[in-house]
Chain A
Amino acid sequence: MAKKKNTSARPKKAVVSKKKTTKTTTKAKATRAGLRPAPTAKKKAVGKNKPKAVAKKKSAAKTKAVANTRVVTRSPEREVISAGKTPRVITRGAATVQTKSGFPFSAEQIPALANGAKATAFLRSYRKGAWNQFEKLPLPSTNDEAWRRTDIRQLKRNGLQMVEALPKATRDKLPSIPARLLKPLVGKGHGGQIVFAPGKTTVQLSRDIAKQGVVFTDFATAASKHPDLLKKVLGSVVKPGEGKFAAMAAALAGRGVLLYVPKGVQVDEPLHSLLWGPGAGLAYFSHILVWVEDGASVTYVHESASPTLKEQSMHAGIVELHVGARANLRFVELQSWGEHMWNFTHERARVKKDGNLDWIFGALGSHLTKNFSEINLEGEGSLGRMSGFYFTDGDQHLDHDTQQNHLAAHTTSDLLFKGALEEQSRSVWQGMIYVAPGAQRTDGYQANRNLVLSKQARADSIPGLEIQADDVRCTHGATVGKIDPDEYFYLLSRGIPPVEARRLIVKGFFDPIMERIPFEGVRQRFQQAIVQKMK
């Protein structure tokens, strides 16, 4: 008798085996380059999950990078360095010249500065200082702990040119922004919108909001109209010297947003900015500055997007957030780059006493992303929440490196990152909760959950705790699982076809993170992405 498989006809994607749960015990993670003050001798952790204390790392200074102390992040370096010794680069057309860094950028390309001598002076010194750092800093390699799982050797640095260097005629031929990206993602309308397209920046802010003293504008305008404000905010949270790409963005980002909310001002309508980066062989830089004064509150959505092309492009960006005492910032970041984009970002938030930060990350695009995001809970009673979702397919590689620094007592952090992976894609999440000496009665939580949808996809999830106070509660968990075949069969048995069934399970998997995002527009965008990625 011929053997017959009970199910036959249609081909199936792999759906196998039960979820695997990595243990939720503490694992030491080597401290990132120069990112933290040297730990003191005794470490002890008590609390629900009794994480093992990490007694590692004798010195914070074993790094090549400039050792900024994380905790005291004031007064940015203002080194002024002459650009004279920079190797020359010609960036016209496709002609490129080899430079030391491999990136064909030159100091002459540091963005032209706006009129107003005052602005010019500090901006110039900031950018030149950053340029100098950029030249000095080595390109990250997989020998660096933070970059161990993210290899950037395939980035054709020499094939890139700054979008500003494109001849106008070529630039004008780049695809324009699809209307759907300009629609509000949060609420019914925008209180303000800034749109960056090659060669064109538009800024809008409602009169009512502007009247309250809120500044929401691009760098050029900020430099001429609000130089003192820009000076106060620029480089106050993220240092150009934190890495090659941070320095590169600090030096070369002509595109930037300054959002400033004065003391006590409640901005009711969300603000929105879009960085549109079409084209191949191009380098984009951006710098987002948000300063929310004591008692103020605002919701801000920033999206980076482009079509997908074959040849590489890159983006390097900096995000600096300041949340004042009792202030509220809700910051939604959507990364929708085309799948040819190499994307590097350094992002940090500082939260003061009883301040509240709700930070949401949605990552669907780019070929490769290395993102550093950190929360410094500097004031007692401050709260930082980070919610992330990512969905990769093809040969995408997303690496999110998060850090929750409890630098004062009674601080609370809560991180949940969830991701799904299709095809040959790969994700890396490495997270660290750091509790400084004396930061008692802090509550830190971090969880990363991954759903691997194909045999070739791979998710790495590396939680970490480093605790130097003895009265804290820290919990963390990391899981990498697959679709449960029983769940899948259950859905099929109700008449739901295979593709739909897998999508439904994936949507269900993401539901807890969607619950943390009270923005219908953002959720819808993500649901659409699930449908697109799961054909």
Chain B
Amino acid sequence: MSQLDIRDLRVTVAGNEILKGLNLTIEQGKVHALMGPNGSGKSTLAYTLMGHPNYEVTGGEVWFKGQNILELEPDQRSHLGIFLAFQYPVAIPGVSVANFLRTALNSHRKAKNPEDKGMPIPEFRTLLKEKMDLLKMDHSFAGRYLNDGFSGGEKKRAEILQMAALDPEFAVLDETDSGLDIDALRNVAEGVQALRGPNFGALVITHYQRLLNYINPDVVHVMFNGRIVETGGPELALKLEAEGYDWVREAHELVTSE
């Protein structure tokens, strides 16, 4: 069952505990939004789910498809169907988008079947074009070095392109909407919507209601000081948009400082 189950997760970064016993369950096929003030630990959660070595897990478990994914290497988590759209995508000079994606896709195929000879090039080209069209990306992107010299918006689109090509079962989108112009935001949101279905769950980290207008989340959470402190429906996002985080702080400051 591809439900994501985070239990009492504690994570330390550079000696500071950032996630302080976080609990969160995202059922299969559901899209949850995660909001919260700067520095509350949202990206820490995202990186931890993907297995970044700088984020040291000091406690808890994360269950997905019958495995505690904290025991897996990042590439194995990817093979299991987890995807992270980075808040700050990394440039890989000298490696083209097409070459990169083909290597990634073939790695996935090989993980499923060690005998796999790789996706035939014509098939790959067709797939790549199809996904680029979905995101209204110029085909010339395929030949450019990945994220190298890309504008902020282009990088975010390239993240969604990768997600569309790898077809994950659970994705974390870390502020994929920030830096996007209005058209790009719609394209990206449509890209996410196109994946949506009973086999695609997501955790959408965002600061703004705009994206949520397109991607209607099933559940909205608020993170504060390394924990989920509020959970509700789409109306919770609207409330935050209108009132900000002061009420959250007032309600939870005491709890966290004890």
Contacts and interface: CB of A to CB of B under 8 A. Distances in A.
Interface of A: 1, 3-10, 484-487, 489-498, 500-501, 504-505, 507-512
A6 B103 CA distance: 25
Contacts of B70: 4, 6
Contacts, number: 110
Nearest to B101: A494
Nearest to A489: B52
Interface in B75-89: 75, 77-79, 84, 86, 89
A492 B74 contact: yes
B52 A6 contact: yes
B107 A508 contact: no
Contacts of B166: 494-495
B73 A492 contact: yes
A493 B47 CA distance: 10
A504 B95 contact: yes
User: Which of B11, B57, B162 has the most chain A CB atoms closer than 10 A to its own CB?
Assistant: B57
A408 to B, nearest CB: 35
Nearest to B68: A4
B111 interface: yes
A69 B50 CA distance: 62
Interface string B163-185: 00010000000000000000000
Contacts of B162: 494
Contact of A497 (B11, B52, B75, B100): B75
7 contacts: A4-B59, A6-B53, A487-B91, A493-B51, A504-B103, A507-B94, A511-B95
Contacts of A4: 56-59, 70
A498 B51 CA distance: 13
Given A487-B91, A491-B100, 20 more contacts: A1-B10, A3-B56, A4-B57, A4-B70, A6-B11, A6-B52, A9-B71, A485-B53, A489-B52, A492-B75, A494-B104, A495-B111, A496-B75, A496-B104, A496-B107, A500-B107, A504-B95, A507-B94, A511-B94, A512-B94
Contact of A493 (B57, B74, B91): B74
A1 B58 contact: yes
Contacts of A486: 90
A196 B53 CA distance: 52
Nearest to A508: B94
A7 B94 contact: no
A1 B74 contact: no
B107 to A, nearest CB: 5
B78 A492 contact: yes
B48 interface: yes
A494 B86 contact: no
Nearest to B110: A497
B95 A6 contact: no
A508 B92 contact: yes
Contact of B92 (A10, A491, A498): A491
Contacts of A485: 53
A508 B74 contact: no
A495 B108 contact: yes
Nearest to A15: B53
A492 B111 CA distance: 13
Interface string B32-54: 00000000000000001011110
B64 interface: no
A490 B73 contact: no
A510 B72 contact: no
B121 to A, nearest CB: 16
B149 interface: no
B113 to A, nearest CB: 14
A496 B89 CA distance: 16
B145 interface: yes
Interface string B123-151: 00000000000000000000001000000
A500 B59 CA distance: 31
B55 interface: yes
Nearest to A3: B58
B244 interface: no
Nearest to B52: A489
A509 B93 CA distance: 7
Nearest to A506: B94
Contacts of B103: 496, 500, 504
Contacts of B50: 493
A5 B59 contact: no
B92 A487 contact: yes
B104 A6 contact: no
A504 B92 CA distance: 9
Contacts of B111: 495
User: Which of A5, A6, A491, A504 has the most chain B CB atoms closer than 10 A to its own CB?
Assistant: A6
Contacts of A1: 10, 58-59
Nearest to A496: B107
* Pairs A-B, 6 closest by C-beta atoms: A508-B94, A511-B94, A495-B78, A492-B74, A508-B95, A490-B90
A349 B61 CA distance: 65
A56 to B, nearest CB: 36
B55 to A, nearest CB: 5
